[in-house]
Amino acid sequence: MFKKLILVGLPLIIIGWFVYGYVAEAMLDRSDLDLALAPAATTGVRPISEIAMPPKNLMAAEGVNPLPHGEPAQQDSTIIAGPIDISRRLEKDELAFVHLGPGHFGAFNSSEYPDGRRLLWSNGVNGLYKLDYETYEIYDHLPTDKAKEFTQEWADDITADLDENNGTTALYTSYKALSPLMSLSGIYTVVGRNGWIYIAKKDGSIVAYGDSVKDDPASKIELKGKFQLPAELAGASIGMNMSFDGWIIFPMEQGHLIAVSEDLKEYRSIRLKHADTEDTSTQSVGYGWVRNSIAIDKDGGIYVASRNHMHKVIWDGDQFSTDEKDGAWTAKYRNGTGEGTGATPSLMGFDDEDKFVTITDGDIRMNVTLFWRDAIPAGWKAPEGSPSNRIAGLAPASMGQLDVQKIQSEQTVIVAGYGALVVNNRPRNIPFFLPKDGNSLGLLNGPLGGNPKFQPYGVQKFQWNPAKKRLEMAWVNETMSSPNGVPWVSLGSGQVYLMGARNNEWTLEALDWATGQSTFHYILGGQKWNNEYSGPTIDEKGRVFVGTMWGRARIQPKLVSTRVKDN
C-alpha cells in the first residue's frame, strides 16, 4: 500500500509543484519589461586626464586593496595599467596559488613595512590568514573549528570530481563545494593605517588583529582589540567600509548602521528610515533587509540600500543623521522581485562632475539605477518608470540581442569615470527540477559556472552623458561570460578584466573599455581556478590577484605591458 501511495502521490506532488510555479510566475508584475531601453551612446570614453578618480582614504592602509572593492567609493577600478597581451595558455610559473580553504573572496593588503615587505590578510571559512604579499608564504593562521573539516584533501577530492564531471549530475558535488559558505562570517574586512585588520563576527562583536611584534610582518597574529555591540544591536552584519576619519562603518541586516572607532573603544548607531514600518526579517540566507555593503564619500555621506529604498546617511565625525536638513535622503527604487537590490552601492562622479550613487535595482530584469548624490537639479524630471524624482538614470540590463527577461545580481555596478558595467550571472540553462530563482542558482553559476551548458553570457556597459543628462548604452558583448565574479577596470590599460570560462576551462578575459571587444584572454585551466564569486584586482605591478574556490591566486604573466592607454 505504501509503495502504491508513493507511485501515485509523488507524481501528483511534482506536477502540482510545476503548475504552482508556472501560475505564480504568470501572475508576476512584469512592468519591468515595458521600460524603455537606454539610447545608444553619443559620446566616447574620456581621456584619463579628464576623469576625476575617487579620493584616497588616508586612514586605510596604503595600497590597491585595503578595503572591499578597493576604496570607499566601491568602484572596482584603477588607473594602474593591467596586462596587455595575446591570447594564450599561461605557463605554470605565471600562476601563483596558495590553498587557504573555502570562502576567501577578498584579500586585503597592509601598508609597506620598513623592510619593504607587505602583507595580504584573508579571512575565510577556515579562519584568518596572514600571507607574504609577494611569495604567498603563510606567516600565520588563526583557524576556526571548521579548519579540520574542510582540509586540502577534502578540497582536492571535490576539484577532481568537478574536473571529471561538472554537468547536471554533479549537483551534489556542487552542493558539497558550496556548503562550507553557510558558516562563513566576516568576509568584508578592512585594514587600517595602524596595520590592524577589522572583522565583524556573527555574535555582534568587532575584533581587530595585527602583528605580535612591531614592524615584523612574519610575526604571529595577535588580537589587538574587541568591541561587543549591545544585545539590542547584535546580529548579522553585512559589509564593511571605513570613513575618512577612520571609523569602521557597517550595516546590520535588519536596519541599523554602526560606527566603531579605530581603537575599538566607542560606537555609534542609527536605525535607517523605514526599518520601523517594513518587515526587516531575513527572508533567507543572503536576503536580509540590507543585503550588501555600503559606499562612503569624503564628506561623510554613507550610502546604504535596504529592501525598497536607497539611503544617504550623514556622518559628521561623531554622530549619524538621517535628517534631510543635514543632507541625508531616502529614495525608493523599483523592486519587482520584492527582494530588493543585491548590489553594493558604488559612487560615480567627483570634483566638478555630475555625482551619483549607482545600484542595480530589485526588478526581475534589473535596471542600472543612478541617484543624484546631492541636491536634485532644479526642474529635474526623472526617467519614465522611476518611483522617485531622485533617480537620474534608469536602464534595463537587457544584454543586447540576448534580450534577457530575468537577470539579477549580487554584485556592485562596476564604475570608472561615467561608465557603469554589469554582467549576467543567471545560468543559461536551469534543470527542470531546480527552482528558477533564489539561492539554488548558486549551484549552477558557482562550482558549475564554467560548464558551457550553464555558464551565463552577457556583459553590458552604460555611460552617463553629462550634456544630455541621461544614461546611455555604450556597448554590449553577448558572447563574453563572467559566470560569478566582479570585474575590475583598468583605465591605465583601457581594459575591463573579468574571470571567464571557455570550453570548460577558466580564463582571465580582457575587454576594451571603450568598445567592449575582446582584447585577449589567458587560459588558466580546470576547476581549481574557478574564482567562485571573487573578482580580480590589479596590484601596483600590473598583476592580477583573485580568489578561487579553495584559496588565492595571482596571475603574473611574463612581459606584462604597463603602458598607459589614453583613449
pLDDT value of residue 24 = 53
Burial class, 3, CB count within 10 angstroms (exposed 0-12 / middle 13-18 / buried 19+) = exposed
Alpha-carbon gap, residue 359 to 412, rounded angstroms:
7
Query: Which grid coordinates belong to 297?
Result: 564619500
Query: Which grid coordinates belong to 162?
Result: 568537478
pLDDT value of residue 8 = 47
Q: Which residues of the chain have pLDDT under 50?
A: 1-20, 22-23, 560-567
pTM, 2 dp = 0.94
pLDDT value of residue 536 = 97
Coil, strand or helix: which one is 158?
helix
Query: Which grid coordinates belong to 476?
Result: 554590449
Short-list 342, 346, 345, 329, CA closest to 388:
329
Compute φ and ψ for 222, nearest 5 degrees: -130, 135
Amino acid (one-letter) located at 11 = P
pLDDT value of residue 286 = 77
For residues 516 and 40, the answer to whether their CB atoms sit within 8 Å is no
pLDDT value of residue 12 = 46
pLDDT value of residue 25 = 57
Residues 6 or more apart from 449 whose CB is under 8 A from it? Answer: 427, 455, 456, 483, 484, 501, 530, 532
Alpha-carbon gap, residue 318 to 10, rounded angstroms:
61
pLDDT value of residue 29 = 79
Burial class, 470, CB count within 10 angstroms (exposed 0-12 / middle 13-18 / buried 19+) = middle
Short-list 126, 159, 162, 156, CA closest to 144:
126
| Chain segment 451-478, per-residue pLDDT in tens | 999 999 999 999 999 999 999 999 999 9
